[in-house]
Homo-oligomer: A and B are copies of this chain.
Amino acid sequence: MQRYKIIIEYDGSNYVGWQKQDNGLSIQESLQIAIKKQTQENVEVFGAGRTDAGVHALGQVAHFDLDRNLTIKEIQDGLNQYLRPQPIAIIEAKKVEKDFHARFSAKKRIYSYTIVNRRSPLTIDKNKAWVVHKKLDTELMNSASKFFIGNHDFTSFRSSSCQANSPFKTIDKVRVLREFNNIFIKVEAKSFLQSQVRIMVGTLVNVGEGKLKPKDIELIIKSRKRSKAGPTAPSEGLFLTTVIY
């Protein structure tokens, strides 16, 4: 038996998310089907991050075990062939030891959220960003983002359907960058609660619009109430960019 680690890029627009579900096609199921076509083996593919419906990945990581011992070139090219024409691609494949686990061995996950801050609707970036019409003050958003850093009870920043046992998470870095009309919010942590990044982004947008002050983030965290935080930013602006082991 050989364990393989793969790095996957995908456009999540037309998928129900990473996780296999009954209500539509997921990235996980698409990969399992492609592996079955290539190897005739029924495998479970374990992912580093359970991205929601509509969320994209530049560097999702997953692992699976095969009885057959294929070269990494066979894995990469073969799966890319069988995934066609879906917008899912294996950008790297590697043989790993049996103690590697895509989800549990991950030391850090980096997400990036794209906002296009302008009056007009999206064209080229359709389904790849959140268009916010009101002018956002990114300096205020950057100041606000610093209050997320550290270990906190993030009850105010988790989806009501979040199943994690503990609401405590440690945010290592948050940065808000502006390039003309594009705003990128980059967040790094070992792991996140469900919808945490999107609720953080929605709340930072409230700060950028002037509805909240940067220091309010501290009070919202302390309140431990989802209703105090901002809206959940739409899934289409979110990218899982990197997983570090």
Taking Cβ atoms with an 8 Å cutoff, the residues of A that contact B are 9-11, 56, 58, 76-77, 80, 84, 87-91, 118-124, 126, 128
Contact = CB atoms under 8 A, between A and B. Distances in A.
A121 B80 contact: yes
A139 to B, nearest CB: 24
A9 B116 CA distance: 13
Given A9-B120, A84-B121, A90-B120, 16 more contacts: A9-B123, A10-B123, A10-B124, A11-B123, A11-B124, A11-B126, A56-B124, A76-B119, A76-B120, A80-B120, A87-B123, A87-B126, A88-B123, A89-B120, A89-B121, A91-B118
A185 B242 CA distance: 26
26 contacts: A9-B120, A9-B123, A9-B124, A10-B123, A10-B124, A11-B123, A11-B124, A56-B124, A76-B119, A77-B119, A80-B120, A80-B121, A84-B121, A87-B122, A87-B123, A87-B124, A87-B126, A88-B123, A89-B120, A89-B121, A89-B122, A89-B123, A90-B120, A91-B118, A91-B119, A91-B120
A111 to B, nearest CB: 15
Most buried by B among A87, A89, A90, A91: A89
Nearest to A91: B120
A124 B91 contact: no
A62 B88 CA distance: 37
A51 to B, nearest CB: 13
Nearest to A124: B11
A76 B11 CA distance: 30
Contacts of A10: 123-124
Chain B CB count within 10 A is highest, among A56, A90, A91, for A91
Contacts of A87: 122-124, 126
